[in-house]
Amino acid sequence: MADFKFEIEEKLLVLSENEKGWTKELNRVSFNGAPAKYDLRTWSPDHTKMGKGITLSNEEFQVLLDAFRN
């Protein structure tokens, strides 16, 4: 299995934190060297482990923002 790499390029928002210190965050994350995407998921306190989440392209994120604005 190939190595999986990620880099949080921009931390945008912490939505919540649970009793074990894991946080639900919105960030811009690059996976395996690809351009960064908007990413919403849970992270361990040291950001070495992640939970399930979703990634959105710039265009998808803009559609979501527009929907909340209207």
pLDDT tens-digit map of 5-52:
999 999 999 999 999 999 999 999 999 999 999 999 999 999 999 999
Global confidence as pTM: 0.89
What's the rounded Cα separation, in Å, for the pair 2 and 67? 38
Following DSSP, what letter does each residue of 24-46 receive, concatenated? EEEEEEEETTPPPEEEEEEE-TT
